[in-house]
Amino acid sequence: MTPERLARINAMLDQRQPDLTVCMEGVHKNHNLAAVVRTADAIGISDVHAVWKNERMRVSGGSAAGSQNWVDVHNYSSTADAIGVLKSQGMQVLVTNLSDTAIDFREVDYTKPTAIILGQEKFGASEKALELADQDIVIPMVGMVQSLNVSVANAVVLYEAQRQRKAAGMYDRPSISEERRQRFLFEGGHP
């Protein structure tokens, strides 16, 4: 690895936010997951959780998702399993949902450890996700369309989280563990 590349990777790792994550439900193509991972990486997310629609796709998709070298993708076959893991990590679990009871996404404190659940493009968030999550959040819309595209909704919420975390100085102090840093550096040096 060149010294420039090493410095670039270390600077990226210094800004990683391991206590902010996204969990996508009903993933059936690696392609829609990739759009979410791309934005997640851009705001410093190190882990994305994917609940696959069916086991068979999960396997092929899961390995393809591994090509995203800089974000760890964790695969599940049920929403309950995924949310169980997120809660055991002490995350507040927010579900993006087009309902009247949801609060405006900007009212949430994203400086806390936070997981954001994204629903399926066709059917939205699952009953299970709504039942297990701590809070529903909605992105206000004033037009005629019924909803935003899921990767757009992901980006709008994540850039609000980025704004709050930047204001709180959370990008100025490294928070990734030394063990993960070494693993990313090793993998990044040996692609």
Give me the residues that bind ligand SAM (CB under 6 A), please: 96, 98, 118-119, 121, 123-125, 138-139, 141, 147-148, 150, 153
Stretch that binds its own copies, among 77-85, 114-122, 123-131, 153-161 (CB under 8 A): 153-161
State the minimum distance, in angstroms, from the CB of residue 152 to ligand SAM: 7
Question: Are the C-beta atoms of residues 111 and 152 closer than 8 Å to each other?
Answer: no
Distance CA 122, CA 126 (A): 11
**70 binding partner (options its own copies, ligand SAM, none; Cβ < 5 to 8 Å by kind):** its own copies
Stretch that binds its own copies, among 18-26, 94-102, 114-122, 143-151 (CB under 8 A): 143-151
Distance CA 139, CA 137 (A): 7
Stretch that binds its own copies, among 58-66, 94-102, 119-127, 136-144 (CB under 8 A): 136-144
- Least Cα distance to 150 among 15, 28, 18, 63 occurs for 28
**119 binding partner (options ligand SAM, its own copies, none; Cβ < 5 to 8 Å by kind):** ligand SAM
Question: Are the C-beta atoms of residues 56 and 31 closer than 8 Å to each other?
Answer: no
The edge-to-edge listing of strands for the beta sheet with 135-138 is: 72-76, 47-52, 20-27, 114-118, 92-96, 135-138, 103-104
State the minimum distance, in angstroms, from the CB of residue 174 to its own copies: 12
Binding of residue 139 to its own copies (CB under 8 A): yes
Q: Quote the longest CA-to-CA distance of the chain.
A: 53
Among residue numbers 44 through 73, which ones bind its own copies (CB under 8 A)? 44-45, 69-71
Helix axes of 3-14 and 178-189: crossing angle, nearest 10 degrees? 140
- Least Cα distance to 55 among 77, 30, 34 occurs for 77
Query: For ligand SAM, which is the closer residue by CB, 35 or 139?
Result: 139
Binding of residue 96 to its own copies (CB under 8 A): no
- Least Cα distance to 25 among 124, 107, 91 occurs for 124
Binding site for its own copies (CB under 8 A): 9, 12, 15, 35, 38-45, 69-71, 106, 139-145, 148-149, 151-152, 155-156, 159-160, 162-163, 171
